[in-house]
Amino acid sequence: MIVSSMLNLGIDLGALEHNYRQLRGLCEPQVKILAVVKADAYGHGLLPVARHLARAGADYLGVGSLDEGLTLRQAGLTLPILLLLGILPQEAERTVAADLEVALFRRDVAEALAAAARSQMKKAKVHLKVDTGMGRLGLLPGEVPEFLAGLKEYRELEVVGLISHLAVADLEDKTYTLRQLQDFTDLLAAARGQGWALPLSHISNSAALWEFKEAHLGLVRPGLMLYGSPPAPDRPPPVELKPVMSLTTQVLQLKHLPPGSSISYGCTYTTPAGCDLAVLPVGYCNGYNRLLSNRGAALIQGQRAPIRGRVCMNLTMVEVTGIPGVKEGDRVTLLGQDGDDRLSADELAAWADTISYEVYCLLGAANLRRYQGK
């Protein structure tokens, strides 16, 4: 992380709570919400985000690694926590000791968890992960009956449910998603026919949460929408989401360049006319993507100042010609609202050929976060 008093990465916990309540309102009251806080809460900060969502009423938390789960437990969070990536066999003892639940898809992990649970005189909760078309983690549907049958010998394991992940729930065409959902519910019915209770099975990410009520089942797993971004940037969700993360800085130097001046490494931009240029103390070391070079913009006094030349490690230049009265020290918004205009994570992502998720992860990992609304 780079600490710079010239940059302000703001995290608005009030907005986070607002988004949680909006999502709560989209679900039937009995549907549980597992707030996905993996990857350091999408760059928003694992502990403050998890604490705030727990206080707001989240039923479950979902993290990536055992380490994230342990961090939450050590901080005193008592909610059920699901390790979405599963664990390695050698992590079973610590997993069981901390009462963490595991996405399960490996036989050796099942065995290690059962052994750990036995020695600690506990039960280990597992969610059997099925690959219904994501082509990522999980057993193929055809492998599930045999795997489940193999779990019968581990009486220390409590199989909470089947879980799966949707590959294209954000697309308007629902054919693939409906097929995934059908395969999942078929599998669930078959397993229940074999005597498995599977009380809490789940498949819905943010996109399915608002467009696939039939996929909610007993629990939904939103991530992105909690942080205030729509899963499909071209189709706004039916509820108002408030962006949680913002990034502001200030004008470090203001200068006037004559026509024909080059800007930044590689001289990729030459001023066609006189140019008022603001030098900003932000660069790719701050997670401000180099692909924003000559494409992105910042907001100064609510107006767009286009990036000129390449984004450097610590510095970026924007043109402020025509924006009246800009001074050194003036506030600059790189992500967020200024006046009537707003730079969304989706807009930055489009400029940098990526998605809002990555914008959040990169900015959050690189900069000191400052929290509001605790």
Ligand X SMILES: *Cc1c(COP(=O)(O)O)cnc(C)c1O
Query: Which residues form the interface with ligand X (CB under 6 A)?
Result: 36, 38, 84, 165, 205-206, 221-224, 231
Q: How far is the CB of 105 from ligand X (least distance, A)?
A: 12
Q: Tell me the CA distances in angstroms from 127 to 38, 61, 91, 161, one per residue in order.
A: 17, 14, 16, 5
Task: Tell me if 365 sits within 8 A of 44, measured CB to CB.
Answer: no
**Would you give the distance in Å from CA 203 to the centre of its chain?**
16
Catalytic entry in 129, 176, 265, 327: 265
Burial class (CB in 10 A: 0-12, 13-18, 19+), 89: middle
How far, in Å, CA of 326 to CA of 320, rounded? 7
Smaller CB separation from ligand X, 15 or 224: 224
Q: Residue 39 or 366: which CB sits closer to ligand X?
A: 39
Classify residue 156 as exposed, middle or buried by CB count within 10 Å of its CB (0-12, 13-18, 19+): middle
Point out the catalytic residue in the list 38, 129, 269, 360: 38
38 is catalytic: yes
- Tell me whether residue 210 or residue 351 sits nearer to ligand X (CB atom): 210
User: Least separation, in Å, of the C-beta of 348 and ligand X?
Assistant: 17
At its nearest, how many Å lie between ligand X and the CB of residue 219? Answer: 11
- Cα–Cα dist 92/88, whole Å: 7
As measured in angstroms, the least distance from the Cβ of 85 to ligand X is 8
From CA 172, how far away is CA 211, in angstroms rounded? 9
CA distance 364 to 177: 31
Q: What single-letter amino acid sits at 135?
A: G
Q: Does residue 256 contact residue 276 with C-beta atoms inside 8 Å? A: yes
H-helix or E-strand spanning residue 362? helix 356-366
**Which tokens hold the place of 128?**
């059997």
Nearest to 263 by CA among 297, 333, 311: 311
Q: Which is nearer to ligand X, 225 or 305 (CB)?
A: 225
Q: Is 176 a catalytic residue?
A: no
User: Which residue has the CB atom at the shortest distance from ligand X?
Assistant: 223
Least CB distance to ligand X at residue 80 (A): 15
Shortest approach of ligand X to residue 208 CB, angstroms?
A: 8
DSSP strands (E only) in 197-296: 219-220, 245-250, 253-257, 262-263, 269-270, 275-280
The residue among 52 and 221 lying less far from ligand X, judged by its C-beta, is 221
The CA-CA-CA angle for residues 238, 61, 105, to 5°, reads 105
In whole angstroms, the minimum distance from the beta carbon of 201 to ligand X comes to: 13
Catalytic residues: 38, 265
